[in-house]
Amino acid sequence: MEPAPANTDLQHLVTSLEQHMCQVVLGKAGVVRLCTVALLAGEHVLLEDVPGVGKTLVGKTLARSVNGQFCRIQFTPDLLPSDITGSTIFRQNRNDFEFIQGPIFANIVLADEINRTTPRTQSALLEAMSDRQVSVDSATYELPEPFMVIATQNPFEFEGTYPLPESQLDRFLLRIAVGYPSREDEMQVLVSRRDGEPVDSLEPVVSCQQVMAMQSRVREVTVDESIRHYLLDLVEATRNCEELHVGASTRGALCLYRAAQALAFVEGRDFVIPDDVKRLAVPVLSHRVITRGFVHSGNRDVTEAIIDRLTENVPVPT
């Protein structure tokens, strides 16, 4: 049995992974950092923004940087749940039924434009994302480890989109806005894409075993009692806010806890500091709350501004 890798070796791998991704995803170091946090926390990430800003590129770059099985699912209105999970077929030559695995049976699954398909098909991901398993025809099949869903979606205002239900959104650790690049980065994009897409020739830099080792080490990161109280104060603030109809759930608190551990590890620490929780409050909590009134319902900018304001008002432990 091989000895467990040291923390310094694993953190060197994290640095290599981020640098590797930043060679393709230009000018988006913050987005790369958050995606790495989701990977090491063993959770899923939702990339939401207007078309053409690199959401799919971020997902493909992360997936190709991990030496595991990668599958991309293009979500369309006519996609069926069985197209994702797989189905059972009858083999006449053997007089028996056989389960044919769907594309969800991969280590990294890129769910592209997830809100282009119907809620019925979207729900096919629920069990896979929460329990790492798929149930088909009364049989349960385990998914490979590690398992991560990287979903992209367009804003709800765009034609032909189906908003994700709250139960589905709650399964994503982070919701990240990619945003437009700076002029300098956009110029670099134009130059670097003259001879094709760099992501197509990208080689993996970490193995699945190394990812699982990092995930295991992340769970050992220390979270002081004062930090835990601070985290719960933030969650409770969302529940007591007059502008919010529904505050963050217990799962939201647990996700913020795990994300803070992963961020601390990525930044070379074996303990969480208040800034870790503060920096992650918006991407972890903003998609788990519901604003009051129809006008602002589902508006990302409004919910993020509310969470940001609550974060500034909650006392930080010293």
The CATH classification number of 1-194+202-215 equals 3.40.50.300
Q: What are the average pLDDT values for consecutive 10-residue runs of the chain, which has 318 residues?
A: 62 90 89 94 91 84 88 90 88 83 92 87 87 87 92 73 82 90 87 79 90 95 96 95 90 96 95 95 93 67 92 91
CB-based contacts of 141: which residues, under 8 Å, 6+ apart? 86, 99, 101, 105, 133, 134, 135
**Whole-angstrom Cα distance, residue 220 to residue 240?**
32
Specify the CATH number for 221-318; select among 3.40.50.280, 1.10.8.80, 3.40.50.150, 3.30.470.20: 1.10.8.80
Residue-range domain boundaries for the chain: 1-194+202-215, 221-318
User: Is-contact 48 286, C-beta < 8 A?
Assistant: no
User: Is-contact 256 280, C-beta < 8 A?
Assistant: yes
Closest CA to 46 of 156, 147, 175: 175
Give the global pTM: 0.89
pLDDT at 123: 84
**Whole-angstrom Cα distance, residue 256 to residue 249?**
11
pLDDT at 1: 44
Closest CA to 106 of 63, 136, 74, 65: 63
The tokens 């090491």 sit on which residue? 40
Mapping DSSP to helix (H, G, I), strand (E, B) and coil, where does residue 27 land? Answer: coil
Q: ∠ CA(102), CA(105), CA(107), 5° rounding?
A: 145
Closest CA to 214 of 67, 46, 39: 39
Amino acid identity, residue 61? T
